[in-house]
Chain A
Amino acid sequence: IFFVHRASPSARGLCIPTRAVCDAETIFALSSGHGRCGVAVVRVSGPASSMVLRNMAGLTQALPPPRTALLRRITDPKSKELLDRGLVLWFKGPHSFTGEDSAEFHIHGGPAVITAVLQALGSLEGVRPAEAGEFTRRAFHAGKLGLTEVEGLGDLIHAETEAQRRQALRQMDGELGRLYQDWSYRLKRCLAHVEAFIDFSEDELIEDGVLNQVDSSVRQLETEIERHLKDERRGERLRTGVQVVIAGATNAGKSSLLNTHRVPPSRGTTRRPLVEREGVRRARQRVEQADLTLVVVDSTQLPPDPQLVAAFLQQHLSTVLPSPEAGMTAASDKVLLVLNKSDLVPEEQRERTEGELRERPGLPPACFLSCSTSTGLEDFLTVLQSRVKTLCGDPLSGAPSLTQARHRAHLQQSVQALNQYHQYRDQDLALAAEGVRLALTHLGRITGRVGAEEILDIIFRDFCIGK
């Protein structure tokens, strides 16, 4: 119960907890890249890993020997429907990446197969999609990572959080986002009203029937979420693929770049021109959601002295890109600089500027090109294509199936928790409220965490509470 505060300098360090922090839950994630790939790897870690393997790979008897690949039919644990044929591997803890019992599924790389497997995993009791960086964090807590590797962990989690955030932003923009936000808002009110009834109804005048309203709101929410889970086609399809945004000042040549029709025809690339009319705020929002941003600059606007160009571009980027806090720094590999209208700049100036900008730390790669003469376009496309390839091979860049599986799992858990509300409603309101709290925690994993203060805000707004 009591923690001794270590105030003396001798004890100012930090102690690693001896046990993994959330060691009892089993997590899964797609560990390979998304997009067109031959094989996808899905990792599972946690105490239920053996159960997962038994259920999904039809291993009723003994588990395979650890670290040995086995070709199995992979089936849905509930419907027994065949999902894929693939390799399964079993890692007995502590001899695994995370130090826990783990399993791997090597399946075919098509989006349909991946989605099906992830959803099947999410439907198992005690198994949930991993949070950002969770595999690595578990490995860290199990003492599987050295101190130098830990240094990379922060960056990794940052990257994963960023990827999830971008994915979430895209989604929250659409119909599905509005739906989730609406559920979250209604659930918050339900909780606030139950909490108000618990904390204040003995002293304050809380209108009769507050709980009855909560009853029907909770029931309504359950119905809606369940219906949504049953009928996926009704929900808006997640936007898939790598999102590329073209940004720049008026007349820099954004539309020309788009209209060259030569932007890589690789599948899954969304072309989204940015029109000035959208306004700065909206433009920034788009950039924030993008996996890759092409910043187009009019070369004739560059300072004639090549030595000043880097500073000029830096300044320009800071006006186009969202704040570095949002994870988009100029040095980020998610930005390419396109210096358009190169044909209007003297040859010598261009070459010297190019030399100046080569391998410049803090600046993204810059390509001179001319949309009207097509000079430099080939080189630019090579750079762009390699970027898109990297992004597709990166499991973090907007893998919609993973996001879908995460959402499904959280929504399912949310509905289950709401069940607890009805179960205890007349017997024990504290336990009933616990159900609503839990439901909000799960929904909050999609829409954002809700703290006690936010609930109190609603209580004090909706009810007259005295001193």
Chain B
Amino acid sequence: MLAQKLHLLRHNVLSFVSSRTGSDFTRRQYDVIVVGGGHAGTEAAAAAARLGAETLLITQKIMTIGALSCNPSLGGVGKGQLVREVDALDGLCGRAGDAAGVHFSILNRSKGPAVWGPRAQLDRERYRQFIQSELLSTPRLTVLEGSVDELLVSQPNPEEPGHHRVTGIRLVDGSHPILSSSVVLTTGTFLSGSLFMGQTTSPGGRMGDAQSCAGLSYTLKETLGLRVGRLRTGTPPRIVKESVDLSLAQLQAPDKQPTPFSFLNTHTRCKPEEQLPCYLTHTTPGVERVVRESVHLNCHIQQDAKGPRYCPSIESRVLRFPGRRHQVWLEPEGLTSDLLYPQGLSMTMPPELQLRLLREIPALHRAEIRTPGYGVQYDFVCPTQLTPSLQVKSTQGLFLAGQINGTTGYEEAAAQGLWAGVNAGRTALSLPPMALSRTQSYIGVLIDDLVGRGVTEPYRMFTSRAEFRTYLRPDNADLRLTPRGFEEVGCVTLRRYKKAVSVRDGLQEALMALQSVALSSTRWREKLGNISLSENKSTTLNGLDLLQYKDVSFEMLASAFPECLSQYFEYSQRLKIEAVYRPHCEKQSREMERIRSEESLSLPSDMDYLSLPVSLSQEVREILDRVRPNTLGAATRLPGMTPAGIIHLLNYVLRTGQRNRHTEHRNRSSQKEGEKGQLCASNIPISQ
């Protein structure tokens, strides 16, 4: 009966045969169940399956898998770095972006390669198709249409910390539970979501989709006792392209040569000449007038008393920064779409006023709205209740990713989804969970910020959040993550691994070749023509030194020494970037090491800080008890934490740890070596 109500998109034949019974289309037991088919859910499901876990993805509507609910774009400054990192760990969104992009550009091109922001406007249809077909061809992954009513939990495994253990889910209309070792929840804005437009409010997480998750919300709050908060977001009206006078807007052309997101791609599906433009226009005093006149008809804005620091809507923009011109980007929705997306005009006023507002902008003076903008309020789970593997601390096997953790943005969701999927898979396969260091990736920064500090407004990635920005660059994400992703995590396929290794070796060789060509600065000037070198005449400089100079390109050096350098032409841009940043990254490596050694000192999650027999002030105890940092590093970054408190904590855990280890030693002396190996901080690879 269950199976009749469920539409099965696809089931992997191999995994299917063994469990198929009677008329049931689905197995009753999986390694990993992922709830939600958005950016977090699809990455989580694909990652768990890549790891080797039998995975089930459950979504309300199969057709909306891979849907771009809001803006038709991917990447940007900070976000582009996340996309490159997800791709380096063999995630989907980078390749999906290359397949669906219709307008590619590298933002911040003039500001230094560390902060370049690869970005693309997307064709919604192509993006969805790519994600769906990618999931279809993923072995060990089954997709099921349905609505989850309840999380099944049981007694915890006493060997591990936690009060509960997740055992599976129950569907709204299914009497039979579906069991699994781990569950990843990626419910986006659907957790107790409500939609706002003007003065009307309706339950739901996205316009046009069924409401959901009442049961799930109950399980999380009541059964598991998780603390939740409420956040808000919004989306702009979609405008009929034909009704827009584009001659009154400023044309924004894409890059002539699109740069793919993915390290696997040399070009994008969209040809350079097929790309679509964007348009830039501005708000007028009329826009401000309409906002002011409509405030009393706008529930979402009236409730905005304790809103985020930035301006999530046009209403908040003009109310907080009055008398200014604000930018509005008119973005294509796809190659065949007849709509435009007005980036910067997210609004929640009644539809008739939305139309009035739009028409105050010259280019939009005849604009027609296809679907009006609206606001969403939804529950999120305070992410300080998670470990760095994105597992709920109190519930073994339960992982959360995406907006449910208080973030905003496709890229932030995808990054968490991938990492939650990795750890859900590892848990199911009885492997220890893993964390990413904030010294090595933006994904690590994102997760460390979330679980270490929590959120008060939707969390979005900025490059200013990364301490080691000059090392966490979009160009080297593959070197930073892919080899380890294959060797240690298991989420990277052999094909990608081989490619990354060959790039790594090629770059290494090229760097050595550059260092092998050494001349005096006088000789360099003779060879390369009129370049300004600050060193005095007799100083000997090698090729790598020279490449640090602004006016020196790899091509120039290669033409001076063709016999030993010309074979590395394919790496010319990466070599130039490496040469400029390498000395700075080396300077920071000490600080990186310090952070990483603190990150590697984990604090037991069940520590009773309030009665710990060490010298800690009440204030510090309360902070520790509230936040329950996962590592000594996280504790160090807590506001209010004192250096003395850190040392006392270190000392206490060290002593108890030793005691545990002694008992442990008697029981299982053979395991000690393995543990030790896991904890040693490895060297920082700058370009190895």
Contact = CB atoms under 8 A, between A and B. Distances in A.
Interface stretch (B147-155, B323-331, B357-365, B508-516): B323-331
Contact of A467 (B114, B310, B671): B310
Interface in A32-81: none
Interface in B283-303: none
Given A3-B600, A466-B311, A14 B654 contact: yes
B312 A467 contact: yes
A82 interface: no
B529 interface: no
Contact of B470 (A18, A151, A199, A434): A434
Given A2-B484, A18-B680, A22-B594, A133 B160 contact: no
A434 B658 contact: no
A204 interface: yes
B681 A17 contact: yes
Contact of B111 (A8, A430, A465): A430
B230 interface: no
A286 B556 CA distance: 66
Contact of B643 (A21, A161, A430): A161
A188 B132 CA distance: 46
B584 interface: yes
Contact of A198 (B108, B344, B432, B614): B108
Nearest to B408: A467
A42 B604 CA distance: 40
Interface in B406-456: 408, 432-437, 440-441, 453
A452 B461 CA distance: 12
Contacts of A16: 654
Contact of B346 (A132, A158, A451, A467): A467
A10 B660 contact: yes
Contacts of A25: 590
Contacts of B343: 203
A338 B465 CA distance: 53
B253 interface: no
Contact of A203 (B76, B388, B671): B76
Nearest to A455: B464
Interface string B628-670: 0010100001000011110110110111111011001000100
Interface in A415-467: 424, 427-434, 451-453, 455-457, 459-461, 464-467
B317 A456 contact: no
Contacts, number: 240
A221 B432 CA distance: 50
A147 B655 contact: yes
Nearest to A158: B644
Contact of B310 (A151, A154, A158, A466): A466
Given A13-B661, A154-B651, A325-B617, A2 B434 contact: yes
B654 A1 contact: no
B211 interface: no
B167 interface: no
Nearest to B653: A14
B465 A429 contact: no
A262 B543 CA distance: 75
Contacts of A2: 434-437, 484, 488-489
A104 to B, nearest CB: 25
Contacts of B114: 428, 430-431
B602 A6 contact: yes
A280 interface: no
Which interface residue of A1, A10, A431, A433 has the most chain B CB atoms within 10 A? A1
Contacts of A199: 77-78, 115, 462-464
A430 B469 contact: yes
Contacts of B76: 202-203
A51 B180 CA distance: 62
Interface string A133-149: 10001000000000100
Given A9-B159, A199-B463, A456-B309, A430 B601 contact: no
A428 B112 contact: yes
Given A151-B651, A154-B648, A204-B327, A3 B599 contact: yes
Contact of A428 (B111, B453, B617): B111
A112 interface: no
Interface string B587-623: 0001001101111111111000000001101110000
B469 A5 contact: no
B159 A1 contact: no
A150 B651 CA distance: 7
Given A198-B115, A205-B326, A452-B465, A5 B648 contact: no
A48 B229 CA distance: 52
Nearest to B597: A17
Contacts of A345: none
Contacts of B464: 195, 198-199, 452, 455-456, 459
Given A202-B77, A204-B327, A431-B470, A1 B441 contact: yes
Nearest to A199: B462
B653 A13 contact: yes
A14 B603 CA distance: 7
B161 interface: yes
Contacts of B668: 10
B481 interface: yes
Contact of A202 (B107, B321, B647): B107
A19 B321 CA distance: 52
B320 interface: yes
Contacts of B654: 13-14, 16, 147, 150
A15 B311 CA distance: 45
A198 to B, nearest CB: 5
B344 A466 contact: yes
Interface in B227-271: 233-234
Contacts of A466: 310-312, 317, 344, 346
Contacts of B679: 3-4, 6, 15
B550 interface: yes
Interface in B98-131: 107-108, 110-115, 117
A429 B654 CA distance: 43
Contacts of B643: 132-133, 157-158, 161
22 contacts: A3-B596, A3-B599, A5-B387, A5-B388, A7-B160, A13-B660, A14-B601, A14-B632, A21-B593, A21-B597, A133-B647, A151-B651, A154-B648, A154-B651, A157-B647, A161-B644, A203-B77, A430-B115, A431-B581, A465-B310, A465-B311, A467-B310
Identify the 10 closest CB pairs spanning chains A and B, nearest first: A13-B657, A158-B644, A428-B112, A430-B112, A460-B309, A430-B114, A429-B111, A17-B597, A154-B647, A195-B464
Interface of B: 76-78, 107-108, 110-115, 117, 159-161, 233-234, 309-313, 317, 320-321, 324-327, 329, 343-344, 346, 387-389, 408, 432-437, 440-441, 453, 462-465, 467, 469-470, 480-481, 484, 488-489, 550, 580-581, 584, 590, 593-594, 596-605, 614-615, 617-619, 630, 632, 637, 642-645, 647-648, 650-651, 653-658, 660-661, 664, 668, 671, 675-676, 678-682
Given A1-B484, A3-B435, A5-B630, 10 more contacts: A1-B437, A1-B480, A11-B675, A19-B597, A22-B590, A150-B654, A154-B647, A199-B462, A203-B107, A456-B309
